[in-house]
Structure 1
Amino acid sequence: MADQEDDVRALLNDSGEPDLKHAIARAREVVDRLDNVVLNIAVTGVTGAGKSTFVNAIRDVSNTEVGAAKIGETETTMEIKDYPYPTMPNVKIWDLPGLGTKNFKAKTYIKDVKFQNYDFFIIVSEKRFKEYDIMLAKEIQKNKKNFYFIRSMIDQDVANAERRWVTENATLQKIKNDCQENLMELGSPPVFLILSFYLEKFDFSKLQNALERDLPDRKRDALVRSLPVYSRQCLEKKYNTFQKAVWALAVVSGGITAAPVPGLSVACDVAMVATFFTTCYHSFGLDDKSLTKVGNRVDKPILEMVKESAIVRAIAGKTFLSSKLAARLGGVIESVCSLIPVAGNIAAAGVSFATTRSVLEEGLKELYRVALKVIEMANLN
């Protein structure tokens, strides 16, 4: 019984709340925010700037996949279109029509694209930012929303300059200087140099840092969880975000156990834990599609290596994962409830918290370890 009391004290200590009722209420709020937070990102710019390619890249979707934003040499985005993240449908990228096109005139653009619906704007250009870009940024400033300038297709500039014996660093600095000079009337805001096909190159990590800095906590976590894994730093941010969810999920598990409904706890624990691991699995880029894409790019058998992990195999075979979790979580909890009919439910909450937290932490660490190995093999360190 002393061990069970220790488990309950640990639950309350981790929650920062005075009693079980308040701890469970706070945890449910945290879990609800993690699962249901909405983030809307608008991508805009003049025709042909590479908006749709960027939209696909940050969703980790190739240009030819079903559900990808259409690309082409002429204007292909003729209407406002949302593209949810494949594994986080509440996070959406909105591909907006080019500013100044036939159906979206400059004077009414802000109203026509339903400006108020987006958390922030990304303005894309393949060369110097034009009058329309600056005008749009001014309107965004007036409405007190954030915007970020992206200069796309950087590889072409670097390749052309190298033919003239100009170094990559010199070319990148010249591009930034030119863009910021062009944007001087806006206070020379930072310009992020992006290569959509290789997000690990140039300034994508700086862009991510800027977005995280400016977003509120709950939306920041949604952004981090949704982005493709393009570096070790990106993976570590994802890992830290999921670690925050472990406490809340474990407390909610304890709360369910305290409810005197036989069998409810195990079923709910299994569903929550399986969903959590599956979300981590996709966010870390360990699904077959993501691994095949990375393996083809570096010409290494990454998919086969990852399948050596028992938890990755279990997640890929969904039924097997549920059965393993049920076996791990069920026995201890049910036995405590049967021994002490009333007080046992409170004690079981502590046991459930400790057991579920242990399972979550172990699984998360293993998925992180496998994802680190993928990054090493893909030379994304």
Structure 2
Amino acid sequence: MFFASLSCSPAVFLEIFSCSSPSLDSLPEDHLLSFEFYQFSCVWTNMDDPFDSYPEEIKECQQALMNNDPAAAAAKIQEYLEKQKNIPLNIAVTGETGSGKSSFVNAVRGIDDEDERAAPTGCVETTMEVTPYPHPKYPNVIFWDLPGIGTTNFPADKYLEHVGFEKFDFFIIISADRFRENDVKLAQEIQKMEKKFYFVRSKIDHNIQDEKRSKKNFDAEKTLTRIREDCIQGLQKLGIEAPQVFLVSKFELHLYDFSLLHETLERELPDHKKNVLLFAMPNINREIIKKKKEAFQAKIKYFAGLSALVAGVPVPGLSATVDLRMMVTVIEGYLRGFGLDKSSLQRLADSTDVPYEDLIAVIKSPVALNKITVDFLLNLMAKMSNTHLLMAVEEGSRFIPLIGIPAAMSLSFTVTYRTLSFFLNELADDAQRVFKKALGLDTAV
């Protein structure tokens, strides 16, 4: 059924799959689309998927299609995508009073301390209860600002019980100078509960500035190494074996060890939560932008698959309507993930003192600077090579006996895959240009 509508010839098809794991990067675009549709069709027609790239939950969709119910199959894919979007990630941030917990929570969420959604900061203990602070763009990611450990209200021996440790995916233990006995006690208790913890030394920018003012032969790298080794030695003396300490400044997340902290968290999180953390992270380096692009790209085949299944429902106009609305939502997600929505760009301008107008001046994609609607997207697609024609052919092909529906499904898959990939590439490049403009770093696109 499906292979009658593949966009490449049988010879090309055999060439693509003559080895067990073809390199997708080396395939021409039309061959790549055929490859993706091949994987898609393998799963839906109960053939073996040689790369086992589809999750277990999709089997219900497969069964619906085998029962000749493409509408139910499409609903199952949509249900799966919604589930992926809402995977929870709960991050506990704790430490002694005045360590900079609340400022860290605000900085990682991309929120200024003066923002109405910010965790309150101050020189005295401002966090009196376990307080959740959802990410402004990804509410399923929650940073929990925990009360300072070791105060009269929150003694160390009852701390984990009081804060409800079981709901957290991992703990970040923050100190503004040396880590102390209470920090170590907490880490040891967390370890007993088989949870992950990470030591973060905050306010590093203050230390660098103080050292620079007080020493004639100032060396930033030597200062950072000394601070890191001092923290590690202190933790070892208190009973922590081989501790990792990450040096962080809330004002300059792109500097020091925040990138290393993110890489460590990503490596140690369960697979289904890695992308949840990734999308919530600010664009602190070009590698994160690249990883976000790769994660978005990996999801396109599911949206294209949903598009193909809807195209299999013999209702005139349904496929185009569903596809356009879906693509608008997906592209809006790209804007949020890359920080190219207007609110994110304004916060970036405020935090870096680079004028907002200078940031938007380097953006080339029209979808980043306009309100995305179905009509607006349709107009853009009309200017893309062959895309508008393929949509028209898809709508007409469904009325051809025998091969019409399979052909429509393949065309719908191709249009959606090609369109989303095109705008993803554009917006990823824009994110790199904005990053370079805002921070003045060496950023290759």
Deviations 1:122-181 (A, max 9, x none): 111001111111011101111111111000000111111122234211211111111111
2:122 is the alignment partner of 1:72: yes
Alpha-carbon distance in structure 1 between the residues aligned to 2:322 and 2:116: 34
Q: Determine if contact 1:84/1:92 at 8 Å carries over to the other structure.
A: yes
Q: Determine if contact 1:253/1:353 at 8 Å carries over to the other structure.
A: yes
Deviations 1:235-266 (A, max 9, x none): 11111111111111111211222233443322
Alpha-carbon distance in structure 1 between the residues aligned to 2:40 and 2:194: 35
Cα deviation for residue 105 of structure 1 reads: 2.5
Which residue identity does 1:139 align to in structure 2?
A: E
Alpha-carbon distance in structure 1 between the residues aligned to 2:234 and 2:151: 22
2:13 is the alignment partner of 1:13: no
Alpha-carbon distance in structure 2 between the residues aligned to 1:63 and 1:79: 19
Cα deviation for residue 56 of structure 1 reads: 0.7
Which of 197, 203, 227 is the aligned partner of 1:175?
227
Q: Determine if contact 2:204/2:247 at 8 Å carries over to the other structure.
A: yes
Deviations 1:98-132 (A, max 9, x none): 11234322222111111110111111100111111
- Written as runs of structure 1 = structure 2, the 5 A alignment for 1:278-293 is 278-293=332-347
Alpha-carbon distance in structure 2 between the residues aligned to 1:345 and 1:325: 26
Aligned to 2:365: 309
For normalisation by structure 1, the TM-score amounts to 0.91
Give the RMSD, CA atoms, in angstroms.
2.6
- Written as runs of structure 1 = structure 2, the 5 A alignment for 1:26-105 is 28=77, 31-105=81-155
Aligned to 2:301: 247
> Which stretch of structure 1 is more off in the superposition, 114-123 or 23-32?
23-32
Q: Determine if contact 1:14/1:247 at 8 Å carries over to the other structure.
A: no
Alpha-carbon distance in structure 2 between the residues aligned to 1:103 and 1:198: 33
Cα deviation for residue 75 of structure 1 reads: 0.8
Tell me the secondary structure at the aligned position of residue 121 of structure 1: strand
Q: Determine if contact 2:94/2:171 at 8 Å carries over to the other structure.
A: yes
Aligned to 1:164: 215
Aligned to 1:294: 348
Tell me the secondary structure at the aligned position of residue 122 of structure 1: strand
2:195 is the alignment partner of 1:134: no
Q: Determine if contact 1:270/1:326 at 8 Å carries over to the other structure.
A: no
Alpha-carbon distance in structure 2 between the residues aligned to 1:18 and 1:308: 37
Tell me the secondary structure at the aligned position of residue 63 of structure 1: coil
List alignment gaps of at least 5 residues for structure 1: none
Q: Determine if contact 2:5/2:406 at 8 Å carries over to the other structure.
A: no
Alpha-carbon distance in structure 1 between the residues aligned to 2:115 and 2:374: 28
Higher relative contact order (CA 8 A, sep 6+): 1
Q: Percent identity?
A: 37
Q: 1:320 to 1:48 in 2, by over 3 A?
A: farther
Which of 162, 168, 173 is the aligned partner of 1:112?
162
Alpha-carbon distance in structure 1 between the residues aligned to 2:317 and 2:223: 64
Deviations 1:330-368 (A, max 9, x none): 53432222334x643332221111110000000000101
Q: Determine if contact 1:12/1:19 at 8 Å carries over to the other structure.
A: no
2:419 is the alignment partner of 1:359: yes
Which residue identity does 2:233 align to in structure 1?
A: E
Q: Determine if contact 1:11/1:353 at 8 Å carries over to the other structure.
A: no
For normalisation by structure 2, the TM-score amounts to 0.79
Q: Determine if contact 1:39/1:119 at 8 Å carries over to the other structure.
A: yes
Which residue identity does 1:183 align to in structure 2?
A: L
Aligned to 1:191: 245
2:371 is the alignment partner of 1:344: no
2:335 is the alignment partner of 1:334: no
Cα deviation for residue 213 of structure 1 reads: 0.6
Count of matched residue pairs: 379
